[in-house]
Structure 1
Amino acid sequence: MTTLNRRDLGLLVLRVGTGAVLAAHGSQKLFGWFGGGGLEGTAKGMESMGFHPPRQSAMAAGIAEAGGGLLLALGLATPAAGAAVTGNMAGAVSVHAPAGFFAQSGGFEYPAFLGFTAAAIGVMGPGRYSLDHVTRHRFDGPWILAAAFAASAIAAAAVLGKRVKGQIGADVDPMDTEKDQGVDTLED
């Protein structure tokens, strides 16, 4: 190859940057790396935010971020990775929505941006400089795109529905307890 394709190079930069940020946040949740709460701290935070069962919710969020981020960075199974991250960020948006839009007030700006970015990468594809390209797109075909985003939407709706149902009548403000539990938030 004598020339670089600007579109593919741009996708590589976007994938690696977004994937690295997500993988770091997921590592905080799963392993306590980079000052995170680890699985136990994240589970406590998940419980305080209304996600049940808390340990499984913490594990799912950590895997979606760390695993989805790593796969996005590599450009492998890109639609599934984008869908997993998008669904996970829908949960994060639900936690931050009561604080409004902007991140400086605890709002949903940052998780929404990550979710939309992951969705765009998942739909657009990883570009030529990716493992999906190397594997001749065995893991990112059109049916995988449709199935992954449908499954992610269904799972996110179920989790958020369960969370909302559990909070009806509860007098808990998740924005007050989130930092108290030592949980990594996407603004940290």
Structure 2
Amino acid sequence: MTQEFARPNLGKEVPRTDDELGLDPDELPNAEARTEILPTTAPQQAGDDAATYSYASIPPAANAPTDPDRLRRNRNGYDRRGTLDLGLFVLRLVVGATFVYHGVQKAFGWFHGPGFDGTKEFLTQGGWDQAGVAAPLLIAAEVGGGILLVLGLATPLAAGAVLAVILDALAFKQGMYPGFQYKAGPGAVELEAILAGATVAVLLTGPGRWSVDRNRGWATRPGWGSLLVLLLAVAAAAVTWWYLHGGNPLA
């Protein structure tokens, strides 16, 4: 009497090795019956005992099931990010919180800030032709963009918004006093330059996995889209300056 076996489904990947089967050959039930049905993989000599079946003798498949993407990531170290995500979180926290701090100063007068009316007056004295429009745009970009940066939410748009703001702030301070003053002098732009550089770094590297955007492609491997946002932010700063302020910041 022979045993009937279910015909395997050749359209799916089937296990072929001990590890894939998840079984111990020594503990298999009906081992004797299997030795009668399944042939050995190597010819037996005349003096050998009864043929025995060796599961380990099954050769691996020519196209064994693999995960090439996972193997490639492991080989190139993509999954071993170390403290990279923590560092990006710290960078986002510092940059975003700084923009929020300056934004609430301008909006509500907190932390000894000028408040909304004081911000409009300051912009008017600084030569802005449309201070009533520039002030709310400035506050919205600093507060909204700063909060989104801290959260790591819609990071490319948030970074682009605050980058446009800080570039206009740099041009504004540069145009208030003659000559280029980076660190010393009333028109020093050191802080603005550092914030602009840090914002560009977040935009081009992504927010990391410690962010709301962690499942987005730009979180860990941003592409050409982030570079496009960078160019658009620079263009937005130039258009805003030309339309709402006018004049040459280098003069």
1:18 deviates by 1.3
Query: What SS does structure 2 have at the residue aligned with 1:30?
Result: helix
Deviation track 1:41-72 (CA, whole Å, cap 9, x = no partner) reads 10111111122310221111111111111111
Amino acid at match of 2:101: A
C-alpha RMSD of the superposition: 2.6
Shift of 1:161: 2.4
TM-score normalised to the size of structure 2? Answer: 0.58
Counterpart mapping for 1:125-136 below 5 A: 125-133=206-214, 136=215
1:68-122 per-position Cα deviation (integer Å, ceiling 9, x unaligned): 1111111111111111111111111112223611155431110111111111101
The higher relative CO (CA closer than 8 Å, separation ≥ 6) is in 1
Greater share of helix = 1
Structure 1 pair 84–4 and aligned structure 2 pair: CA distance change class (3 A):
same
Q: Secondary structure at the match of 1:76?
A: coil
**Among residues 147, 155, 163, which one is paired with 1:86 in the alignment?**
163
* Counterpart in the other structure of 2:216: 137
Distance 1:48-1:10 versus aligned 2 partners, 3 A rule: same
Query: Which one of the candidate residues 148, 153, 167 is aligned to 1:76?
Result: 153
Letter in 1 for 2:146: G
* Matched letter for residue 165 of structure 1: G
Shift of 1:36: 1.1
Match of 1:107 in 2: 188
Output the CA distance in 1 between the equivalents of 2:218 and 2:130.
Answer: 31
| Partner secondary structure for residue 209 of structure 2 | coil
- 2:224 is aligned with 1:164: no
Code of the residue aligned with 2:191 in structure 1: it is Y
Whole-Å separation in 2 of the counterparts to 1:138 and 1:32: 38
**Letter paired with 2:153:** L
Structure ID, larger Rg: 2
Distance in 1 between the 2:185 and 2:85 partners? 33
Distance 1:31 1:145 in 2: 32
Match of 2:210, SS?
coil
Aligned length: 164
1: CA distance between counterparts of 2:166 and 2:146?
12
Q: Deviations over 1:13-55 (max 9, x none)?
A: 1111111111010111112211111111101111111223102
1:155 and 2:236 equivalent?
yes
Q: Percent identity?
A: 34
User: Which residue of the other structure, out of 95, 114, 135, is the alignment partner of 1:58?
Assistant: 135
Q: Is the contact made by 1:50 and 1:166 (CA closer than 8 Å) also made in structure 2?
A: no
The residue type paired with residue 27 of structure 1 is: V
Per the alignment, residue 198 of structure 2 pairs with 117
- The answer for unaligned runs of 5 or more in structure 2 is 1-79
Instruction: Give the structure-1-normalised TM-score.
Output: 0.76
Q: Is the 8 A contact 2:204 2:227 kept in 1?
A: no
